[in-house]
Amino acid sequence: MPVTLGLTRLLASERLAGRRVGVICNQASVDEAFVHVADRLRGARGVTVGAIFSPQHGIGATEQDNMIETPHGRDRARAVPVYSLYSETREPTPEMLEGLDTLVVDLQDVGTRVYTFIYTMANALRAARRHQVPVIVCDRPNPIGSAVEGPVLQPGYESFVGQFGIPLRHGLTIGELAHVFNEHFGIGAELEVVPMEGWLSHSYHDGTELPWVMPSPNIPTLDTAIVYPGSVLFEGTTLSEGRGTTRPFELLGAPGADPCALVDALRDVGLAGVHFRPASFVPTFQKHAGVLCGGCQIHVTDRARFRPVKTAVTLLRAFAETAAGQFGWRPPPYEYEFEKLPIDILSGSGRLRTGIDAGIPPGTIVDGWEEETEAFRRASRAAWLYPRTSDTP
């Protein structure tokens, strides 16, 4: 079903006429015809673009690896400054906001708690509140629909990959998240969210007729986004999460791991909607760069039944059993956190790590957070902008 983006609806309303705006965006911030938000704003009657702000990976997503800061710069074609919000600051400064009447957010989220774009938005809301700049969030689809899964971030485990108590797969659009952050978690900025038209909350991105532009370098396809809520946990291990390959987060493995032994261990685990294929790969950068890794590729065969977080927990247990010499927990630092283990801030507490180490069955680990996941789903209803179906996995 065709979807009209929040950006298109905002510009059709002409409510920005006479305003000097800053826009938080990157290369994926395009409309239905692939026109970039900055160009749409520049072409709108009475609108002046005063500044562009970029999230992690930069305005053009040129920084392949994670945890690489990007510099400030200037967009020559549009003759405006470009401020990096993944630099010495992750929040717009008073100098960056000076002279702006409105801050527009137009970012493509991928439906996972640890994706930093949503915290760039949250930080912008805080800065805008302090400096009395209204914020307009142009809504975009959650590319993996509205199903909710995984542990809720626990107090004490906040970081730049998790500021609020939401599940790993949160099931909300970025506009709905803006309301959750601003009202439920009390940021309190002057916020307006412009909803989409035609969006069905259970839809995946390929059901929208909207163009797919990779939101970040290692989410190249919708297939990647579908597995990402679970496979991102592998960033907290010594195993490769497939960065440096053409199938990041779908290929998982480590040097010396036996692909056939791993897949044999997964054969009877009873996971629905997924097939594990023995695979070998050589990452070109990041973990184990240039070294042959053994493991598997995740093939999703039924999106509606596939549970990415449960699948990842099962895979972690299988690697721990079949590749004990290669499996371990990655030490800090990770995403500006220098003390807590990366797996703990990714999963939202120490429960997953200690459960895997203790040999607790994956199903038991997953069952331990089902109640809190459902509690979040109920609590988030006030922020829903679109009707929901019964799509909790």
**Domains in the chain, please, with CATH?**
6-218+378-383 (3.40.50.12170), 222-357 (3.90.1150.140)
pLDDT digits (tens, 9 = 90+) for 297-306: 999 999 999 9
Give the number of other Cβ atoms within 10 Å of residue 326's Cβ.
22
Flag whether pLDDT at 122 surpasses 60.
Answer: yes
Give residue 392's pLDDT: 45
The 10 Å Cβ neighbour count of residue 188 is 11
β 102-105/20-24 pair status: parallel
Q: What is the pLDDT of residues 232-266, one digit of tens each?
A: 999 999 999 999 999 999 999 999 999 999 999 99
Statement: residue 393 has pLDDT above 80: no
What is residue 175's predicted lDDT score, i.e. its pLDDT? 98
Mean pLDDT score across all residues of the chain: 96
Average pLDDT for residues 347-371, to the nearest whole number?
A: 97
> pLDDT tens-digit profile of 106-120?
999 999 999 999 999
> What gap in Å lies between CA 300 and CA 274, rounded to an integer?
4
Q: Which two tokens stand for residue 283?
A: 């990452």
Strands (E), 96-225: 102-105, 135-138, 149-152, 167-169, 191-194
Q: How far apart are CA 143 and CA 169, in angstroms?
A: 12
Mean pLDDT of the region 279-295: 97
**Spatial separation of the C-alpha atoms in residues 137 and 21, rounded to whole Å:** 12
3-class DSSP state for residue 342? helix
Task: Report the alpha-carbon distance of residue 139 to residue 114 in Å, rounded.
Answer: 19
Contact predicate 13/47, CB 8 Å = no
Backbone angles phi, psi at 242, to 5 degrees: 90, 0
Q: Identify whether the C-beta of residue 369 lies closer than 8 Å to the C-beta of residue 182.
A: no
Confidence grade of residue 390 (pLDDT, cut at 50, 70, 90): low
The pLDDT of residue 389 is above 80:
no
What is the rounded distance in angstroms from the CA atom of residue 237 to the CA atom of residue 200?
36
Tens of pLDDT, residue by residue over 186-234, are 999 999 999 999 999 999 999 999 999 999 999 999 999 999 999 999 9
Nearest to residue 175, comparing CAs of 92, 224, 104? 104
Q: Are 233 and 149 in contact (CB under 8 A)?
A: no
Proportion of the chain above pLDDT 70, given as a percent: 99
The maximal CA–CA distance of the chain, rounded, in angstroms, is 64
pTM of the model: 0.96
List phi, psi (to 5°) of 57: 80, -10
C-alpha span between 170 and 165 (Å, rounded)? 10
Q: List pLDDT tens digits, range 48-86.
A: 999 999 999 999 988 877 778 999 999 988 999 999 999
Mean pLDDT of 266-282: 97
- What is the β-pairing status of strands 274-281 and 293-300? antiparallel
Q: Is the pLDDT of residue 391 over 60?
A: no
Which sign does the torsion angle of CA 241, 115, 341, 233 carry? negative
